[in-house]
Every structure is written in structure tokens, then in C-alpha cells.
Amino acid sequence: MVNCRGCNSQVSLTLLNLGHSPIANSLLSTPINDNQNKNFPLHAMTCENCSLVQLSESLSREVLFNPDYVYYSSTSTSWLKHSKQYAQKMTRMLTLNHKDLVLEVASNDGYLLQFFQEKGISVIGIEPASGVAQSAIEKGIPTIIDFFGTSLAWGLSSSQKPKLIVGNNVLAHVPNLHDFLAGISILISDEGVITFEFPHLLNLLKNTQFDTIYHEHYSYLSITALIPLLWQHNLKIFDVERLSSHGGSIRIFLAKQDSKWKVSQNVQKVLNLEAQFDPRNEKIYKPLQTKVNKIKSDLIKELNKNKENGMRIAAYGAAAKGTTLLNYCGIKSDTIEYVVDLNPNKQGRFIPGSLIPIVEPKMLNSERPDILLVIPWNLSTEIKMQVNAQIQLGSRLIRAIPEVEYF
């Protein structure tokens, strides 16, 4: 039994149990399997009262988002394009100019704020992982190295209040949702707008995206669960957009309850969709574990068949979801020789648990694989273009989500 992060009810309903797994982004510097002390339960549970999905066990945020945190948002060209389009959209929507302030929580390496800054708009980033934060500072983007919450919000509230607060792929990473949202409410200007983007629980349930479950994601979100939570902090959702990013995300637009922003019909449309994939519904959650286990058995069977036929197998993308996928399936370096990744901060390290080495993409030229497992399936199109030369020479691409398939 755990307490719900949203409504504080007792939670006992299992959505999905993935056993024990290492911390997804804690890449190893040496291939020493010391995971006996570093594996933690990966058990997603649903609140029967408010429908919030969360992990049964919470690891310290200081452990998860440490100075050695290796995720750099600027690595993905498609994500940069997405961020630039967002900056253009919000600049028009809010008529932002040099007198306004845009604040981003979990600003990473400045991947987004740079596009506002180019327009002469003042920006501030907040990022707890000092390594990626320093990268943003070196780009000239003012960044506060800290976790966001009420304490930091009160400290900033005496200065200019932001007209726009952005939080992309951060809300699921927050252990204390109430403290975080209270801080947002303190800081936003009276007619200001907040946007959050996060992977939509609906897509996890609909497309069996179990690899998006890892310890950094404390919660798995829907607007059904968020609306009553936001209401407690004087915030309302006035619009929703469904996005293709990260395998299916939503962007929610928030403002203070008594602000000028009127609630769009889009909100009810998404609520209706979520009702069809309610994680409290036995017809939704009961088949999920079976679907996950089928993906596991299908992937193991396919990789083993290729290995027995003398095929060389590699992987592309040392994404966090890969740690969940590879460890749940028990796939190690004796099956997958290496995984390539564009991020130099990941190269030379090893996937925790599976101990697969992470190398530069040029390895694909000298040690061309017959089979390439694409781990970040949400970037399949982008990756297919990047490895076109290998495809022309006969390499085949395979992915595991939503089902094991060549593409």
C-alpha cells in the first residue's frame, strides 16, 4: 500500500509489475555487474479514487538527477525542431516581447530557451542536474541550479513574474506534485500561462509502452487525474493539444482559475478519450501485463533466432527506456554487441544491468550489424534516415514497441 501523490488515498491496484530494474540513466563507467545493490522495484500502481498512476517506491530525486545526469535534450534534431515551433507559437499567442519573461522548469541544456532568447525575450532556466545546467550557462542562458518548489518560487516571486512558465517532460519527474504546483501558482503572473508537456498515459495503455516506465518517472499522467490536483492550487486547464513527440504526448495549457483564459472544448474531448482507457478499468489494466510479456517473449525469440543464424546484432540509442526494455527482457551483451548513441556523454559507458557498451555511431561503419534494434522507437523515422547507409548495405531495423516488428 502506498499513498496517492495526488489525493493521498491509499493505493493498492497494480497496473504493471516489471520486477526490479537499475536506475535508467545511471550509466556505468565500467562493466562491473554490481547491480545487486542497485536494482529497485519497478511497480506501477493506480489510484482507484483519482486514477493517478505512480510507482510504488520512490527514489531520492538527488540520486536520480545528479551532477552526472547524461540526458541532453539538444541531442535530438526532431526535439529541437519541436521546441523551435513551440517558441514561435507561444510568442505569437502571448505577444511576447523584450519586456516579458519566460521561465522554464527543468530547462536541461537550454535547448528551448535559446529560441526565446533569439527573439530578445528575457529567459530564466531552472535545472537541478548541474552538468547539463552548466552546458546551458555556457550558451549564455541564465540558469538556476536547483529543484523547483515553493521555497524557490517564493525566492523568485519578489522579482518580475513570468508571463510564460514552461515545463516539458518534468511533471512526471516530480516526487512532490503539491509542492511543485504550489510553486507554479505562486510564481505565474495573474494572466500568465503555464504549459506542461508529458507522455500521455492513454498512449502507454493503448500501445503497451511499458519501456517508458522507469524510476525517474514517479507518475504517469492524464488530465483526468490532474484536474482535481490543479484545482487545489488555484490552477485550471484551459486547453489541451495532443502531440506525436515521445510516442504520444499531450501539452496542457494552464492559468489561474479567475484569469481571462476560457476553457476550450479540447479539454472535454481528451477527457472523453481518457475515459475509454481508464487505468482503473479491469478491461484496460488486466490485459496489460500479458501484452508486455508477449513483447518480451517475441523480442527474445527473434533476437535469439538471428543470433543462432550467425547474425550480428547491435542497438541504436542508449535511451532511458532501453534500460527498462533490456533488463525486463534479460537481454545482455552476449546478444547485443553494442549500442550506438550520438551523445558523447554516454559514449564509453555501459547500460546498467545489461552491461552493453555504448559507442560512437561510426562503429556501425566498421562493425556493421545485420540487425539493429532501435531502442527509442519514438524517433524511428529520424534514426532510419541516420543509418540509411547501413540499410543500403543490408542491415535490418527492428523495434519492440508497440509490437516486435521490422521496419
Average pLDDT for the chain: 95
Question: What pLDDT is attached to residue 36?
Answer: 43
Would the CATH topology of 2-65+147-276 be identical to that of 283-406? yes
Calculate mean pLDDT across residues 142-162.
96
253: DSSP letter? E
Separate counts of helices (H) and strands (E) for the chain? 14, 19
CATH class of domain segment(s) 283-406: alpha beta
Contact 5, 52 (CB under 8 A): yes
Question: What pLDDT is attached to residue 66?
Answer: 77
Calculate mean pLDDT across residues 352-364.
96
Residue 292 has pLDDT above 70, yes or no: yes
Q: How many residues does the chain have?
A: 407
Residue 339 has pLDDT above 80, yes or no: yes
Question: What pLDDT is attached to residue 38?
Answer: 84
Lowest mean pLDDT among 57-71, 180-194, 237-251, 338-352: 57-71
What percent of the chain clears pLDDT 90, i.e. is strictly above it? 89
Residue 78's pLDDT band (cuts 50, 70, 90): confident
Question: 325 CB contacts (<8 Å, ≥6 apart)?
Answer: 211, 299, 331, 375, 400
Residue 139 class from Cβ within 10 Å (0-12 exposed, 13-18 middle, 19+ buried)? middle
Calculate mean pLDDT across residues 120-148.
96
Residue 34 has pLDDT above 70, yes or no: no
What percent of the chain clears pLDDT 70, i.e. is strictly above it? 98
Per-residue CA distances from 47 to 88, 218, 219, 280, 350 (Å): 38, 13, 11, 8, 35
Question: 288 CB contacts (<8 Å, ≥6 apart)?
Answer: 15, 16, 205, 208, 210
What is the model's pTM? 0.91
Q: Does domain 2-65+147-276 have CATH number 3.30.70?
A: no
Q: For 53-70, what is each residue's pLDDT tens digit?
A: 999 988 988 888 877 777
Residue 384 class from Cβ within 10 Å (0-12 exposed, 13-18 middle, 19+ buried)? middle
Domains of the chain, by residue range, sit at: 2-65+147-276, 283-406
Q: Which residue has the higher pLDDT, 61 or 102?
A: 102
Closest CA to 42 of 24, 11, 19: 19
C-alpha cell at position 270? 481528451
Lowest mean pLDDT among 1-5, 171-175, 237-241: 1-5
Q: Dihedral sign, CA of 278, 226, 378, 333?
A: negative
